[in-house]
């Protein structure tokens, strides 16, 4: 009996040792481990829209990317949340920071951590010699023409301008060597409504208007503007926790990888690193268009407002204001 108990005890010990040192890597179901992954933490990601996108939601796209990232990094979860510019800036002023932030120019972001990636090229935005932002998707400005426009009493202007709080379409217009004395600046949706109502021959808009017009089935032609673009969505790291910052950098690298960038057509956006495929010739042309100038990801609201004022005058032919604009912008 003692020998049987001894053999049974040794068998149990051997089984435990096998599970601890070998079996933990062998217990699978069709190649998928049945053992829980090591928990590494939750990354918080704030997403802020400062300009119109293409189709769908950029936050939803980030959530989809997060699921793919989590599969490749077992034990790491990414929680993406929508924030307004005002709410995000208020939270940061109170010392509350996410691990990652997705944003456009005009947002006052603090607590930035270096994010340099090898091979990221012109997707990187540097400050004082360090890279703190990566462009993970972009839009673009364009001049849209209604070929069926009839100039009559109902027409209130030759050009309607779609301008948001943080965008500078007239700077793109002026730096693309376009001039027009007669134009009206409206919010993006109101500019689109006026254009589709036949009250203007031209719409100075973005990729969002192209998508709207395609859904509407309206005839239109598109001329991309290559003089300037500030419709860039950036990703930055704010986490000061060493472990979280490590995985935040991995997420940023995953977000700008070719495998993810090639899927930007799902939300109607373009990439700065590769050519996103589009069946639409208009959107394909927008993807191919590379802007000659832009502003920093860290540009202030004051600078954006200054450019908006200068853009209105330069678009009407003011040479001094055009020169001023050229001094305020930079090459991407």
Q: Phi, psi (5° rounding) for residue 248?
A: -65, -40
3-class DSSP assignment, residue 269: coil
pLDDT in tens, 241-296: 999 999 999 999 999 999 999 999 999 999 999 999 999 999 999 999 999 999 99
DSSP-assigned states of every residue in 39-80: P-EEEEEEEE-SS--SSS-HHHHHHHHHHHHHHHSTTEEEEE
Angle at 104 between CA 162 and CA 275, to 5 degrees: 85
User: Shortest CA distance to 149 belongs to which of 140, 159, 141, 139?
Assistant: 159
The burial class, CB within 10 Å (0-12 / 13-18 / 19+), for 233 is buried
Closest CA to 261 of 65, 37, 119: 65
Which band of pLDDT confidence, cut at 50, 70 and 90, is reported for residue 38?
A: confident
User: What pTM does this model have?
Assistant: 0.86
| CA 23/CA 35 separation, integer angstroms | 10
**Which tops the pLDDT comparison, 54 or 8?**
54
Q: Terminus-to-terminus CA distance in the chain, angstroms?
A: 82
Q: Please, are residues 88 and 46 in contact by the beta-carbon 8 Å criterion? A: yes
Spatial separation of the C-alpha atoms in residues 239 and 244, rounded to whole Å: 7
- Give tens-digit pLDDT for 44-101: 999 999 999 999 999 999 999 999 999 999 999 999 999 999 999 999 999 999 999 9
pLDDT at 128 (0 to 100): 63
Give CA–CA dist 165/309, Å, rounded. 12
% of the chain with per-residue pLDDT over 70: 83
CA quadruple 270, 132, 83, 171: dihedral sign: negative
In degrees rounded to 5, what are phi and psi of residue 43? Answer: -95, 125
**Burial degree of 279 (CB within 10 A; 0-12, 13-18, 19+):** exposed
Residues whose CB is less than 8 angstroms from the CB of residue 203 and which lie 6 or more positions away in sequence, other chains included: 143, 144, 146, 159, 160, 162, 191, 192, 195, 209
Query: What pLDDT was estimated at residue 25?
Result: 44
pLDDT in tens, 134-177: 999 999 999 999 998 877 655 556 899 999 999 999 999 999 99
Q: What is the pLDDT of residues 176-231, one digit of tens each?
A: 999 999 999 999 999 999 999 999 999 999 999 999 999 999 999 999 999 999 99
What does the alpha-carbon distance between residue 81 and residue 98 come to, in Å, rounded to a whole number? 10
Q: What is the mean pLDDT of the chain?
A: 88
Contact 56, 265 (CB under 8 A): no
């Amino acid at each position: 009996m003692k020998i049987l108990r001894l053999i049974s005890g040794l068998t149990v010990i051997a089984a435990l040792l096998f599970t601890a040192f070998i079996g933990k890597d062998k217990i699978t179901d069709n190649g998928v481990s049945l053992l829980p992954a090591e928990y590494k933490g939750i990354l918080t990601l704030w997403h802020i829209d400062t300009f119109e996108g293409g189709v769908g939601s950029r936050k939803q796209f980030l959530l989809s990317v997060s699921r793919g990232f989590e599969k490749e990094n077992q034990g790491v979860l990414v929680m993406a949340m929508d924030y307004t510019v005002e709410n995000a800036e208020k939270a940061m002023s109170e010392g509350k920071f996410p691990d990652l932030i997705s944003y456009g120019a005009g947002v006052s972001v603090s607590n930035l951590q270096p994010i340099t990636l090898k091979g990221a090229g012109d997707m990187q935005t540097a400050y004082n010699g360090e890279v703190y932002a990566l462009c993970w998707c972009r839009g673009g400005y364009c001049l849209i023409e209604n070929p069926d426009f009839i100039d009559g009493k109902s027409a209130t202007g030759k050009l309607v301008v779609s301008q948001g709080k943080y965008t500078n379409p007239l700077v793109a217009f002026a730096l693309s060597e376009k001039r027009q004395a007669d134009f009206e600046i409206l919010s993006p949706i109101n500019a689109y409504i006026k254009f589709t109502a036949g009250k203007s021959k031209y719409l100075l808009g973005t990729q969002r208007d192209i998508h709207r017009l395609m859904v509407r089935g309206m005839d239109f032609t598109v001329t991309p503007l290559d003089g300037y673009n500030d419709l860039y969505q950036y990703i930055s790291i704010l986490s000061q926790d060493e472990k979280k910052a490590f995985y935040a950098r991995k997420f940023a690298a995953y977000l700008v990888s070719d495998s993810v960038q090639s899927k930007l057509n799902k939300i109607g956006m373009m990439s700065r690193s590769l050519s996103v495929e589009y069946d639409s010739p208009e959107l394909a042309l927008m993807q191919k268009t590379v802007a000659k100038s832009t502003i920093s990801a860290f540009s202030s609201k004051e600078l954006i407002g200054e450019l908006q004022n200068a853009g209105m005058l330069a678009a009407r032919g003011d040479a001094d204001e055009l020169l001023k604009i050229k001094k305020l912008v930079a090459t991407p």
